[in-house]
Amino acid sequence: MSSIAYVTDKKMIEYHRLCGNQNINFWRLANQKQFKDFHPGDLLFFYTRPRRSKKKGFVGYGHFDSIQRMSLKKMWNKFGTDNGYESYEKLEEAILAASRDNKVPEEMNCLYLTNVVFFLSPIYPEEIGIHLANKLESYCYLDQNDPLVTVRILKAAGKVGIDAWSASQNLEPETVFRRDEIRHQLAVCAKEIGEAGYTSQEKARAKRLINEKLIQGYELIRGSSTDGVLIEEDRLTIAIPFVTQHKDFKTRRTELIGKMTLYKIFMKKHQIPIERFRFEILFEQEREDMRELIRDFNHA
């Protein structure tokens, strides 16, 4: 799980916001510092100087989808105004201005961002207790030293509100935002709980169980290789594989109850914005005694 603060051209971002662009091509010059730890689903926060402000702040974010290298012409032909400019000529001018040698590179790195969300007001780093260098020229990772930085940004943005223009293709911006907040809070919970002490063979069995749920619409909790979550409008379901052998059944059962208890404690601690949640335990073989135990736990 990685989130990046990226110094962004304010004219480009304002164009995307005013056009209500849902997905954008975020182009970068090929000679710029490359991302080393950025994966599909991670968040890229737009860090720029808003209008009538002398300092930079976070004005929104997008979900990283994919990256590819393209020439200027190919980039315009494929993405058009989703590049952030109303014409080929204005895009070319922006690239020339950003280039150190005042030349258009043969190819550029194109980051495709989806489900873009803009904030009604900028979020300034000092307001949420983080420090970014004033002379930051490209980007920096946000969660390397503190896994709660992304959560704090999203919580602050939730208070100022979401721009109505930042609509997703399939979801209202408030829904996109709420799910992102839950995802990152759950990732923090999972990190605090830690992974189960599975052998490599047991982990493979657990992954087979959770993969069946991923087909049904669940997603892995960020940072966990075995636990899944289904985020619905009014309920959260956490799926946990239960892998055991006869000789260690009691130990594994105790570990499972401990894990569910810790999820409850940390979800309350981090104030995850959901009123109803339940656990679904994934068994290799049906066990009615365990089913009854989980039912009691969910209703406790």
Alpha helices in 139-276 (DSSP H): 149-160, 173-193, 200-214, 249-269
Q: Judge whether residue 168 has pLDDT over 60.
A: no
pTM of the model: 0.78
Of the candidate CATH numbers 3.40.50.2300, 3.40.250.10, 1.10.357.20, 2.30.130.30, the domain formed by 3-170 belongs to 2.30.130.30
Task: Give the whole-number percent of the chain exceeding pLDDT 70.
Answer: 94
Judged by average pLDDT, the poorest of 81-85, 110-114, 115-119, 144-148 is: 144-148
Contact in structure between 119 and 181 (CB atoms under 8 Å): no
Reading the block at residue 1, the tokens are: 């799980």
User: Tell me: the pLDDT tens digits for 148-167?
Assistant: 899 899 989 988 888 765 54
Taking CB atoms within 8 Å and a gap of at least 24, the contacts of 266-270 are 266/188, 266/189, 266/192, 266/193, 267/185, 267/186, 267/189, 270/151, 270/185, 270/188, 270/189
| Confidence band of 169 (pLDDT split at 50, 70, 90) | very low
Reading the block at residue 33, the tokens are: 């510092």
Of the candidate CATH numbers 1.10.10, 3.30.70, 1.10.3470, 3.80.10, the domain formed by 184-298 belongs to 3.30.70
**Percent helix, strand and coil across the chain, each to the nearest 5:** 40, 25, 35
Domain regions of the chain by residue span = 3-170, 184-298
- Amino acid identity for residue 75 in this structure: M
Q: What is the mean pLDDT of the chain?
A: 87
Query: Distance (Å, rounded) from C-alpha 196 to C-alpha 199?
Result: 9
Q: Judging by beta carbons within 10 Å of its beta carbon (0-12, 13-18, 19+), is residue 103 exposed, middle or buried?
A: exposed
